[in-house]
């Protein structure tokens, strides 16, 4: 069965003190929540992943021992193994501090830092080689959707980014569909729009790799997902969770989103 995941992308926000406060509050809530759920019937608590800035990775990893059900990942990694790349961070370094995930191909990296398909495929390769789970982002711009090209755009991003790999590698990838027009805009994709794109992504995987792997891959939705709309989005059969930006910075909102994921099976 595929993993249900709620991930918080903190982006370039929060001082160290603020990050510690947010994470500390999340830890308390997760501990209490797990006790209540485990006493009850369900064991379907989603995996929670936070993506703090690089600087805070070790602090967050120290805070969340394995039992808390919170994993930690990086927001990016470099596309080379190591070397003279001043200011950059390698996938191996991220793994060496104990992080388990890395976001690759976020639309802000694609548009503001010019990251293209070839480079992103290199990053995915290095992430897997170094034992990290890549959260590979895809999603169309508004004009592409308006022109009816969104399915093709997402298919192309996936073909170049991840659908070239061997089956046993793809099994270790998480996909995040994030329509660019919904990121940070307060304009969420409707549950139907999310479901149809997620089903399209799953079909692409099924067509190339077969039913089993298509059923096992987690596909997250991202783009103005919040405490109010998360339940409806997560009630769709192909929406396995969320990659949350703004709402992950408010513990109450993020925690509500985690609960919505759990409530929706």
Take residue 4 and report the two structure tokens written for it: 């249900």
Site for ligand PGA in 177-216 (CB under 6 A): 178, 183-184
- In the complex, least distance from residue 229 CB atom to ligand PGA, rounded to whole angstroms: 11
Site for ligand PGA in 222-251 (CB under 6 A): 222-225, 243-247
- In the complex, least distance from residue 106 CB atom to ligand PGA, rounded to whole angstroms: 6
DSSP 100-145: -EEEES-HHHHHHS---HHHHHHHHHHHHHTT-EEEEEE---HHHH
Identify which of residues 4 and 209 has a Cβ nearer to ligand PGA in the complex.
Answer: 4
Identify which of residues 177 and 209 has a Cβ nearer to ligand PGA in the complex.
Answer: 177
Indicate if 171 belongs to the active site. Answer: no
Take residue 11 and report the two structure tokens written for it: 């982006």
For the chain, how far is it from start to end, CA to CA, in angstroms? 12
**Cα separations (Å) of 213 from 44, 73, 208?**
21, 23, 10
Indicate if 263 belongs to the active site. Answer: no
| Residues touching ligand PGA, count (CB under 6 A) | 13
- The HSE-up count of residue 233 (CA atoms within 13 Å, CB side) is 34
**Only segment of 69-77, 114-122, 150-158, 219-227 that touches ligand PGA (CB under 6 A):** 219-227
- In the complex, least distance from residue 167 CB atom to ligand PGA, rounded to whole angstroms: 27
CB 173 within 8 A of CB 134: yes
**Nearest to 103, CA basis, from 77, 70, 140:** 77
Identify which of residues 183 and 194 has a Cβ nearer to ligand PGA in the complex.
Answer: 183
Identify which of residues 184 and 210 has a Cβ nearer to ligand PGA in the complex.
Answer: 184
**Which residues contact ligand PGA by CB under 6 A?**
9, 178, 183-184, 222-225, 243-247
Catalytic residue numbers, as ranges: 106, 178
């Amino acid at each position: 069965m595929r993993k249900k995941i709620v991930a918080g992308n903190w982006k370039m926000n929060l001082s160290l003190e603020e990050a510690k406060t947010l994470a500390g509050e999340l830890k308390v809530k997760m501990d209490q929540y797990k006790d209540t759920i485990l006493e009850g019937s369900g064991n379907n608590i989603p995996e929670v992943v936070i993506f703090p800035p690089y600087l805070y990775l070790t602090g967050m990893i120290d805070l969340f021992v394995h039992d808390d059900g919170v994993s930690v990942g990086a927001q990016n990694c470099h596309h080379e193994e190591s070397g003279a790349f001043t200011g950059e961070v390698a996938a191996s370094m991220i793994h060496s501090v104990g992080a388990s995930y890395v976001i690759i191909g976020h639309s802000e990296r694609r548009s503001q830092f010019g990251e293209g398909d070839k480079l992103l495929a290199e990053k995915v390769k290095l992430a897997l080689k170094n034992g990290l789970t890549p959260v590979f982002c895809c999603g169309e711009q508004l004009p592409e959707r308006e022109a009816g090209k969104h399915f093709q755009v997402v298919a192309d991003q996936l073909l170049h980014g991840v659908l070239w790999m061997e089956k046993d590698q793809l099994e270790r990838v998480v996909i995040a569909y994030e329509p660019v027009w919904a990121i940070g805009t307060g304009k969420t994709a409707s549950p139907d729009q999310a479901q149809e794109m997620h089903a399209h992504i799953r079909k692409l995987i099924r067509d190339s790799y077969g039913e089993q792997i298509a059923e096992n891959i987690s596909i997250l939705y991202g783009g103005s997902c919040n405490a109010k709309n998360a339940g409806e989005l997560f009630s769709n059969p192909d929406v396995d969770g969320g990659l949350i930006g703004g709402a992950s910075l408010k513990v109450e909102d993020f925690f509500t989103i985690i609960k919505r994921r759990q409530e929706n099976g």
